[in-house]
Amino acid sequence: MQQPPKPTDAFLYAYTTNDKPTAFTWKNRLRYRESIFPDMGVSAFFDFWGQDKFLGRVNTFGNPIFINESHLKQLRYASGVGGVLAINFVADAWRDFAEKIQELIREGVLYDSGPYAAMTAVKGWRSVGNAYHRHLVETIYPSFSRTYLGSLKRLSQSITGISSYLNAFTSFLETVTSEGGPVTFSGYIESMLTSPLNSGLVIEISKDPHDNDFLKTSKYFYDANFSLVVDLATHYGFAIDKNAPWRFVADVGSPAMQEYMKGVPIEVFPIDNRNEMGKCDDVIPTDPNVSEPYGFSQIRGLEDVVRHAAGYSQYSDIDQLTSENLVYEVVYAEAFLESWLLDMDYLVLYITDFYNTYVSTYPIVRLPPDPPDFNDPFKELVKNCEDYGNQRTIRRQQILPSIFNSQGGTFRDKWNLKAYYSIRLLERSLQKPSRRILADIRDFINMYDYITGNTDYRYLQTLKYIQDTLIGRVTAAALTKFS
């Protein structure tokens, strides 16, 4: 079935991409945001360039989070090597949504052409841990070891061991974090270097570029299936991304998505699909196409909507919650982990690897000779101090991660706590006077020293105090430099 022609009026389209002049881009983006998209009549949508930028990255308490991968599930109706993943209840909803689209195409309700005709997921969850690793290895380490140290010969020569390396790295951090380069796992999650796909709540059916506004309007908004597909998505708990209409986002606050979380009454059960044995021990095969158990939506007006939604026990009581915010709180608590607990554990491993790599690359440092003692009448005075004596050579030694161990390491819990506090201040651009910083350090070191419990407990409680009280929750104002 051929689609009708698309509108030809120029004012119905936006034409900008990121490589266009600033004024042209600003004008077209404004028209897209305030005129073109509102005219599409989309009632439910997400805006990752605006109010929803922290969805699935920061929980309701303002702490950065990442998905617990045990809650991921492979999508049906997806393409790509290794499959496409999303949070389990999102994957269940996608299955029913995609099957409904296929049904309506077969019935001729939807056109069998255009971007929404296939509804095959090409992108889903992406590991923020892997992205963080690439950021540190491909950006932070080369910037420090090659660019920063490479341009500061005297600083490079001062590195004779891990202590002097850490001093140089600290100086580097004061520069790089001010320019938007996070180094902790939490800092990376909070930054705009991450993707909405890291949340496990997002599914994309195209790899189209996100900066091409003409493509968004011509290919998607004016596709004849657009309005019906966008409306149908809400029946399964999805909403589109305002700035990427090929992206479907799980609306955790919607009753439809919550049915996939808690489950619906299962009304249709399949027959036993196991092969049976005949009298002569021959296998009697059963129908391989027997349907899986399913039920129907309990939402008024959607009673005929099929749900393959057995539900997940941890969400069984969400219908008793009184606000959308509480539903998100439960989802973030059950399917996500707070990253601040791991920040220093990860960072010291990378620092160890960075230092050892640096030592392997530059095993020897040659220092200028000791200057002459001009007060010694028995030594010849020379004009050039570097001409005096023999050049000193130091061989740098590699280290083991145990150097940061709380039990017997050179850099123990107190060093980790001070480092975490200092780095997170830089990443959040939290301006505090020196006396306040010293007072904060004194307070949390006293807490660590005098709180009751074993070493691990004291460390975690002190770290939590730093995170909750001294660093604080994520706010848009705190992250302005990353926007």
**pLDDT by residue, tens only, the chain of 483 residues:** 789 999 989 889 999 899 999 999 999 999 999 999 999 999 999 999 999 999 999 999 999 999 999 999 999 999 977 789 999 999 999 999 999 999 999 999 999 999 999 899 999 999 999 999 999 999 999 999 888 888 887 888 888 889 999 999 998 998 888 776 899 999 999 998 999 999 999 999 999 999 999 999 999 999 999 999 999 999 999 999 999 999 999 999 999 999 999 999 998 766 554 445 555 555 545 444 446 889 999 999 999 999 999 999 999 999 899 899 999 999 999 999 999 999 999 999 999 999 999 999 888 887 766 655 555 554 444 444 444 456 678 888 899 888 888 777 788 999 999 999 999 999 998 989 999 999 999 999 999 999 999 999 999 999 999 999 999 988 654 443 333
Instruction: Give how far the C-alpha of residue 227 lies from the chain's centroid of Cα atoms, to the nearest Å.
Output: 30
Give the whole-angstrom CA distance, residue 293 versus residue 105. 24
φ, ψ for residue 268, nearest 5 deg: -120, 115
103, 266, 332 from 98: Cα distances, Å: 9, 20, 26
84, 185, 309, 465 from 172: Cα distances, Å: 38, 18, 51, 27
CA neighbor of 243 nearest in space, from 18, 54, 48: 48
What pLDDT is recorded for position 278? 52
Domain ranges within the chain, ordered by starting residue: 10-126+195-256, 128-192+340-482
Give the whole-angstrom CA distance, residue 106 versus residue 337. 42
The crossing angle, in degrees rounded to 10, of helices 413-428 and 455-465 is: 20
φ, ψ for residue 18, nearest 5 deg: -65, -20
* 59 touches 336 (CB < 8 A): yes
Q: What is the DSSP letter of 471?
A: I
What pLDDT is recorded for position 374? 55
Q: Which residue has the tokens 């056109």?
A: 111
List, as one string, the DSSP characters of 43-58: -SEE-TTTTTTTTTTB
Please give the span between the terminal C-alpha atoms of the chain, in angstroms, as a whole number: 44
Amino acid at 263: G
129, 242, 422 from 416: Cα distances, Å: 21, 42, 10
Give the whole-angstrom CA distance, residue 151 versus residue 166. 17
CA neighbor of 247 nearest in space, from 215, 278, 281, 203: 203
User: What residues form DSSP beta bridges with 65?
Assistant: 338
pTM recorded for the entire structure: 0.87
The crossing angle, in degrees rounded to 10, of helices 88-106 and 255-262 is: 120
How many C-alpha atoms does 235 have within 13 Å on its Cβ side? 22
Q: What is the DSSP letter of 322?
A: S
